[in-house]
């Protein structure tokens, strides 16, 4: 939320101001976009420029980000040992389903998307890593709720307002509990336009150690409604494969070598 106060929030607000404006901004414009005092904005801008994250254009005196942030983010993601191991299976799932594949997990009271592989179809569900979605109206959110014990599910539903995101969002607590329990029994969870109008999705969860992850497939209703059962089977198979793959240490580590030696 712009202008929310902390130093970290304000740095993020500045970069998101550039993202939304899609052009260089003067200090005055940047402070207004980021909803912060001009003096605070100036101090942050000075630091970012000194570290190589912003450059100035003159005349007029305006600011714009360099590629440094992109390069840093690229290097961080390229070294992610988790995504490196799951990507081949997620890509296989997208190839088999031709729909958008999402990897996510619970973060507090929401779901955070960690990876999104968009469908090759021109008409598709679009999202980005880092997107946050409600637990009660998203497919992976239902999977995260379903990963709890029934008592935990009922307690969560009783303690939270089920905000209507679309006309199809389930806002009745008893109905949501029934829906999630039905999904847990079936082994997969569904949404039908509950988070985005006319987008249907199916998801499942898997455990690795103490962590719970969710995988979802999402697409427009006209393609998904006749293929939900097949998509569900693909999701369940992928989650099973992911759980087995991630339960083993990464190849090349000492733990992997010991595991292979023991298997031999």
pLDDT tens sequence across 47-105: 999 999 999 987 678 999 999 998 998 888 877 777 888 999 999 999 999 999 999 99
What average pLDDT values come out for the chain (264 residues) when binned by 10 residues? 69 92 92 91 92 86 91 85 87 96 94 95 94 97 96 96 97 97 96 96 94 96 93 96 81 47 42
8 A C-beta contact, residue 34 and residue 14:
yes
Please give the helix or strand (H or E) that residue 61 lies within, else none.
none
Other Cβ atoms less than 10 A from the Cβ of 139: the count is 31
What is the average pLDDT value for the chain, to the nearest integer? 90
Which pLDDT value is given to residue 246?
A: 86
Q: In terms of residues, how long is the chain?
A: 264
pLDDT tens sequence across 157-171: 999 999 999 999 999
Domains of the chain, with CATH numbers? 7-67 (1.10.10.10), 80-246 (3.30.450.40)
Nearest to 189 by CA among 225, 138, 256, 134: 138
Query: What's the whole-model pTM score?
Result: 0.78
Which pLDDT value is given to residue 259?
A: 44
Residue whose pair of structure tokens reads 């497939």 in the numeric block? 217
Q: Cα–Cα distance between 9 and 23 in angstroms, integer? A: 21
3-state secondary structure of 183: helix
Residue whose pair of structure tokens reads 């427009």 in the numeric block? 220
Which pLDDT value is given to residue 251?
A: 56
8 A C-beta contact, residue 12 and residue 33:
no
């Amino acid at each position: 939320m712009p202008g929310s106060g902390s130093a970290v929030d304000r740095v993020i607000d500045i970069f998101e101001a550039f993202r939304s404006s899609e052009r260089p901004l003067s200090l005055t414009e940047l402070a207004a976009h980021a909803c912060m005092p001009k003096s605070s904005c100036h101090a942050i801008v000075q630091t970012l420029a000194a570290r190589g994250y912003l450059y100035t254009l003159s005349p007029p005196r305006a600011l714009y980000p360099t590629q440094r942030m992109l390069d840093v983010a690229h290097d961080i993601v390229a070294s992610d040992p988790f995504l490196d191991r799951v990507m081949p299976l997620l890509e296989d799932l997208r190839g088999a389903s031709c729909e958008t594949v999402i990897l996510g997990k619970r973060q507090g009271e929401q779901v955070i998307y960690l990876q999104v592989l968009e469908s090759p179809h021109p008409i598709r569900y679009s999202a980005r890593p880092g997107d946050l979605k409600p637990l009660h109206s998203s497919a992976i959110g239902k999977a995260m709720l379903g990963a709890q014990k029934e008592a935990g599910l009922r307690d969560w539903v009783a303690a939270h307002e089920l905000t209507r995101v679309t006309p199809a969002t389930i806002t009745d607590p008893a109905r949501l509990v029934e829906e999630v329990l039905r999904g847990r029994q079936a082994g997969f969870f569904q949404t039908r336009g509950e988070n985005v109008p006319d987008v249907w999705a199916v998801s499942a969860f898997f455990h690795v150690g103490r962590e719970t992850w969710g995988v979802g497939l999402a697409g427009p209703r006209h393609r998904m409604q006749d293929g939900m059962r097949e998509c569900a089977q693909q999701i369940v198979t992928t989650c099973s494969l992911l759980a087995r793959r991630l339960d083993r240490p990464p190849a090349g580590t000492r733990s992997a070598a010991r595991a292979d030696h023991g298997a031999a």
